[in-house]
Amino acid sequence: MKNIVILISGRGSNMEAIVRAGIPGARIAAVISNRPDAGGLSIARGFGIETVALDHKLFAGRDEFDAALAAEIDRFAPDLVVLAGYMRILTDGFVRRYMGRMLNIHPSLLPCFTGLHTHRRAIEAGVKVAGTTVHFVTPELDSGPIVAQAVVPVLPGDDEEALAARVLKQEHRIYPQAVRWFVEERLIVENGRVTLRDAQSGPEGWCVPPVDA
């Protein structure tokens, strides 16, 4: 059984998708938020999952907060740390502690549109497709070996909310899939690239096409 700790900052819909997927061999050991008012905490409690709220505002700085966060995470002896809408910049020391066993989901087709306001910037740039990326976390923001991506169209008349909703639907598909692959020990990272052990041709490949828009 692999222990998973999920970090959130807000509504927690990706966390919920992972919990609902019921991944064999995985146990969601805890959900931790840096915001005590994160909606996802009560969702997690509803599933009987242990939750921790660690308010980053109560700490002197990033190093102090990340050290306290790591201490909380390590109580649950995680095999995998999953960032699911966790909206804090991580210190290098924190990233290195969990490197190779920490995944993030970002709402763009990386390496395009790192950082914030991805949907607004995609619309402003006039791109015709957008999407989402699951990747291993490395010290550089929103980079790191790519595990899975899904693509959606950007439609005429889309605003930020419409595009975000279309992308989020795909996030709920690919993040549980990526976590499942990790738990099955099928992700091989070599030279900054991820391949999937025993991949079938077609939709089970590491680039997951959308089922619908």
Active centre residues (catalytic): 106
For residue 61, the minimal CB distance to ligand GAR (Å) is 21
For residue 92, the minimal CB distance to ligand GAR (Å) is 17
Six-digit token pair at 153? 């169209």
Of positions 107, 144, 145, 176, contacts ligand GAR by CB under 6 A: 107
Q: Which is nearer to ligand GAR, 131 or 200 (CB)?
A: 131
Contact predicate 123/155, CB 8 Å: no
d(CA 160, CA 28): 32
Contacts 24+ apart (CB under 8 A), 56-64: 56/88, 62/89, 62/91, 63/91, 63/93
The residue with its CB nearest to ligand GAR is: 85
Interactions with ligand GAR, residue window 10-49 (CB under 6 A): 10-14, 40
Residue tagged 């996802």 (tokens): 40
Interactions with ligand GAR, residue window 161-180 (CB under 6 A): 168, 171
Six-digit token pair at 98? 């969990």
What one-character-per-residue DSSP string does 77-116 give? --SEEEESS--SPPPHHHHHHHTTSEEEEESS-TTSS-SS
Regarding 105 and contact with ligand GAR (CB under 6 A), the answer is yes
For residue 197, the minimal CB distance to ligand GAR (Å) is 26
Stretch that binds ligand GAR, among 23-31, 43-51, 102-110, 123-131 (CB under 6 A): 102-110
Q: Which is nearer to ligand GAR, 12 or 210 (CB)?
A: 12
For 119, the 3-state DSSP assignment is helix
Q: Which is nearer to ligand GAR, 11 or 62 (CB)?
A: 11
Contact predicate 5/84, CB 8 Å: no
Q: Which is nearer to ligand GAR, 124 or 185 (CB)?
A: 124
Q: Which is nearer to ligand GAR, 71 or 85 (CB)?
A: 85
d(CA 165, CA 148): 19
Residues in contact with ligand GAR by the rule CB under 6 A: 8, 10-14, 40, 84-85, 105-107, 168, 171
